[in-house]
């Protein structure tokens, strides 16, 4: 297994094994950076916005965290058998980091600090004539975002895997009829050129940075004339913080082998999951 034979020893500093892996993969791969292929592109600036949960939201999150942590740690002895249950619990914690109403409609009145922060930034960038893409992996959360956009009178297009009038939604944004495009992360990862936007908001991190990069690069591609601003909203002291740390570690592993950014896309290990839970 790659993780046991190479990834973990290399992460622990095994330089000899790193050199061996480099020699093995070098003849098999030819990679070109975007800077090499399209040197005329303007820069892309990426920032992380830390979002503090409101006190009631924090209490709900911590209560569920203790419950799910205890359950998951008891299942890690047989990852293969329990993988679905483990991932379901991790997904629940990720949804709780966004908005507790995603797991229980009884929490509807608690609200989402992330949506508050998003609306504040959108008000500013739209007033300056910029246009924005808004990404999340959770269509339920995107519905909450859309409700707030409707209440604020901000026009937008919407796209997820179930959108029937896909071309119409894309054309409305590209033509300038609406200033915001709300997109599910997977639906927006391929086949779109949205260089009309120069701001991008990623509302929830995933442990595979390649998927995020593919979505963000809908804006940073040939035809873009402005600096692209990318904001990743991360709920402080939640599983999202741990996801960001995991992504950074995976990216460093790839960089150490390939000498450039990216990820192998390997599955989560038991150690990865313990790290996500702070255990």
- In three-state secondary structure terms, 6 is helix
Query: pLDDT tens digits for 26-38?
Result: 655 545 444 444 5
Write out the two tokens for 182. Answer: 């709300």
Single pTM value for the model: 0.80
SS3 content of the chain, % helix, strand, coil (to 5): 55, 10, 35
pLDDT at 24: 65
pLDDT at 67: 94
**Burial code of 114-153, b = ≥16 C-beta within 10 A, e = fewer?**
bbebbbebbeebbeeeebbbbbbbbbebbebbbebbeeee
More confidently predicted of 254 and 275: 275
Query: pLDDT tens digits for 72-124?
Result: 999 888 888 888 999 999 999 999 999 999 999 999 999 999 999 999 999 99
Res 278 pLDDT > 70 = yes
- In three-state secondary structure terms, 39 is coil
Mean pLDDT of the chain: 83
pLDDT at 15: 65
pLDDT at 225: 78
Are 3 and 253 spatial neighbours (Cβ–Cβ below 8 Å)?
Answer: no
Are 163 and 169 spatial neighbours (Cβ–Cβ below 8 Å)?
Answer: yes
Write out the two tokens for 121. Answer: 């930034």
Residue identified by tokens 């999202």 is 240
pLDDT at 144: 97
pLDDT at 25: 61
Bridge partner residues of 231 (DSSP): 47, 201
Distances (CA, A) of 114 to 100, 145, 275: 12, 9, 24
- In three-state secondary structure terms, 18 is helix
Residue identified by tokens 């975007």 is 34
Out of 33-37, 54-58, 138-142, 228-232, pick the least confident: 33-37
Residue ranges with strand state E in 117-211: 132-136, 156-159, 180-184, 199-202
Are 153 and 178 spatial neighbours (Cβ–Cβ below 8 Å)?
Answer: no
């Amino acid at each position: 297994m790659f993780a046991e034979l190479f990834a973990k020893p290399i992460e622990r500093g095994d330089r000899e094994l790193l050199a061996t892996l480099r020699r093995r993969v070098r003849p098999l791969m030819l990679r070109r950076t975007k800077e090499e292929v399209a040197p005329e592109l303007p820069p892309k600036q990426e920032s992380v916005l830390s979002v503090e949960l409101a006190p009631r939201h924090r209490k709900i999150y911590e209560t569920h965290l203790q419950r799910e942590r205890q359950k998951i740690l008891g299942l890690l002895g047989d990852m293969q058998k329990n993988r679905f249950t483990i991932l379901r619990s991790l997904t629940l914690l990720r949804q709780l980091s966004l908005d507790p109403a995603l797991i229980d409609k009884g929490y509807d009145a608690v609200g989402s600090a992330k949506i508050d922060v998003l609306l504040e930034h959108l008000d500013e960038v739209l007033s300056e004539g910029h246009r924005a893409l808004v990404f999340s992996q959770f269509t339920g959360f995107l519905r909450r975002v859309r409700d707030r956009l409707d209440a604020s009178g901000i026009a937008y297009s919407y796209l997820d895997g179930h959108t029937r009038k896909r071309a119409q939604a894309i054309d409305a944004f590209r033509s300038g009829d609406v200033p915001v495009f709300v997109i599910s992360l997977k639906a927006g990862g391929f086949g779109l050129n949205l260089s009309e936007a120069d701001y991008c908001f990623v509302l929830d991190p995933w442990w595979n940075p390649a998927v995020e990069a593919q979505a963000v690069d809908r804006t940073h591609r040939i035809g873009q004339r402005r600096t692209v601003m990318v904001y990743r909203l991360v709920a402080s002291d939640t599983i999202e913080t741990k996801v960001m740390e995991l992504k950074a570690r995976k990216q460093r592993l790839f960089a150490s082998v390939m000498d450039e950014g990216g990820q192998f896309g390997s599955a989560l290990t038991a150690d990865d999951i313990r790290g996500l839970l702070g255990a």
